[in-house]
Amino acid sequence: MEKKNRIVPYPIMDLILRRVVIRDQPLDAHENRTRLGMLAGWISVVISIFLGIGKLILGFASGSVSMMADATNNFTDVASSLVIALGFQWSRKPRDADHPFGHGRIEAVAALVMAIALIIVGAEVGRSGIMRLINPKPVDAPMWLLISVGVTIAVKAWMAVFARQLATLSKSKVLEADAWNHSFDIICTVMVVLALICSTFGWSAVDGWMALGVAAFILYTGIAYAREAIDTLLGQRPDPSEVRDIFKVVTGVDQVMGAHEIMVHHYGDVKMVSFHIEVDANLSLMEAHEISERAEDAVEKALHWRALAHVDPVDRSHPLFEELNQVVHEFIRQEPYLVDVHDLRAEEVQAPYKISFDLVTDMETERRDYGAIYEHTIQWLEKHFSERVHTAEIGIEATVESAPMARKIFSLPTSGK
């Protein structure tokens, strides 16, 4: 088989993948994604069982508490890999009346269960290490034992590479976490080897310290997985690059004058995006609706996500509009916490006018800072529109905002006062 036709550059992995994936679908499509996840999970279950049993036997034979801690770590891998395999299998369940967006978030639940298991085991392994430090015992480390442990390291290295390849192909955070787990296992086993070597020189306390090191790796991994899984379940902020891609696609649609309030919703491998588009207020309702459908279609074709557009009319015919647009954008450029403006409007047939617009802040700006933003904005408007604008209605919101928009109405000094 020619290398250019391979899914991955490794012949054995490539042969396995060709028997699993559907070749006429993208590898990160739902069905292939779940197949790759189940493959990674079940292979890890089988190999981890053998590694755990082997290391447990070696641990009892040598009396090494760090070796038995590493065996416990492998048995934890069995449980976590089983959760991964079943999680991907459950995520294949079709949409139903109670779960209209599918069951994709079960991946995050699986990762959280795996994280909790790792934290519990890490604490227990740490306790064993402390007990060994309190009561150090000699460890028998013959050459055959070191060679056996070296074989387990080679097996784990293959598992880490395999999991990393599947994570890259499927774009799955769960499989990426599993790949890191295998990598940490290699480090843990290397620490065990160092403990065995040190024990041959009479440094038996090293065994306890290495057990604590293994526990630290397990706890770190578990806490990291838990945080990521919880973020996914709670609904984390979208990747800025995703928002930029959506903005570029939407504003590239003919007659779309701007885009804002881009919201990304994740349901496992199912993603939905909603956004507001600005169009000319002089268009008919049918024309504006047709533009919104073209914007939705552009996003769905470019990103393969479900898209929903909301139309905001913009009236550029007002005599103050162009100047207002220029002044407000100039204000945004000089204020580091502001990133955009939308829904810019000017009303009244003659001066003094009424204006309104919504400012968009970066994600780091707190709502308690909005008072200062209002103050700076009004000062800027008074500098440029004093005696020509009598009322300014200003809204403020973050780039991605779940709370209602903050909005205030201000009176500006005019010649009539």
Asked if 307 and 295 touch (Cβ cutoff 8 Å), the reply is yes
- Give the Cα-Cα-Cα angle 59, 65, 68 (nearest 5 degrees): 45
Rounded Cα gap, residues 397 and 403, in angstroms = 8
Asked if 219 and 122 touch (Cβ cutoff 8 Å), the reply is yes
Point out which residues pair with 395 in neighbouring strands: 358, 407
Rounded Cα gap, residues 177 and 163, in angstroms = 9
Asked if 160 and 183 touch (Cβ cutoff 8 Å), the reply is yes
Rounded Cα gap, residues 247 and 249, in angstroms = 6
User: What phi and psi, each to the nearest 5 degrees, are found at residue 194?
Assistant: -60, -40
Asked if 77 and 225 touch (Cβ cutoff 8 Å), the reply is no
Q: How confident is the model at residue 415 (pLDDT cuts 50, 70, 90)?
A: very low
- What is residue 368's DSSP assignment? G
The letter for the amino acid at 403 is: A
Phi-psi region of 304 (alpha: psi -120 to 50; beta: other; left: phi over 0): left
The pair of structure tokens assigned to 391 is 């009322």
Rounded Cα gap, residues 217 and 156, in angstroms = 16
CA distances from 353 to 331, 386, 389, 393, 411 (A): 19, 11, 5, 12, 11
pLDDT tens digits, 221-242: 778 878 877 777 666 666 677 7
CA dihedral 166, 168, 174, 177 (to 10 degrees): 100
Q: How confident is the model at residue 416 (pLDDT cuts 50, 70, 90)?
A: very low
Write down the pLDDT at residue 291. Answer: 92
CA count, 13 A, side-chain hemisphere, 328 = 23
Asked if 65 and 207 touch (Cβ cutoff 8 Å), the reply is yes
Q: What global pTM score does this model have? A: 0.51
pLDDT tens digits, 54-71: 888 887 777 777 677 778
Name the CATH architecture for the domain at 3-234.
Up-down Bundle (1.20)
Tell me where in the chain the CATH 1.20.1510.10 domain(s) lie. 3-234
**Number of Cβ within a 10 Å radius of residue 409:** 10
Instruction: Give exposure, 227-241, as e/b (b: 16+ Cβ within 10 Å).
Output: ebbeebeeeeebeee
pLDDT tens digits, 129-159: 787 777 766 666 677 777 887 888 888 888 8
What topology is assigned to 238-312 in CATH? Alpha-Beta Plaits (3.30.70)
Q: What is the SS3 assignment for 269-329?
A: CEEEEEEEEEEECCCCHHHHHHHHHHHHHHHHHHHCCEEEEEEEEECCCCCCHHHHHHHHH
Rounded Cα gap, residues 82 and 166, in angstroms = 16
pLDDT tens digits, 19-55: 777 776 666 666 677 777 788 788 888 888 888 888 8
Strand, helix or coil for residue 41: helix
**Does residue 17 or residue 333 have the better pLDDT?**
333
* pLDDT at residue 286 tops 50: yes
Mean pLDDT, residues 272-287: 87
Tell me where in the chain the CATH 3.30.70.1350 domain(s) lie. 238-312, 315-417
* pLDDT at residue 387 tops 50: yes
Rounded Cα gap, residues 360 and 377, in angstroms = 13
Write down the pLDDT at residue 289. Answer: 92
Rounded Cα gap, residues 32 and 269, in angstroms = 11
CATH class of 315-417: alpha beta
Q: What is the SS3 assignment for 202-232?
A: CCCHHHHHHHHHHHHHHHHHHHHHHHHHHHH
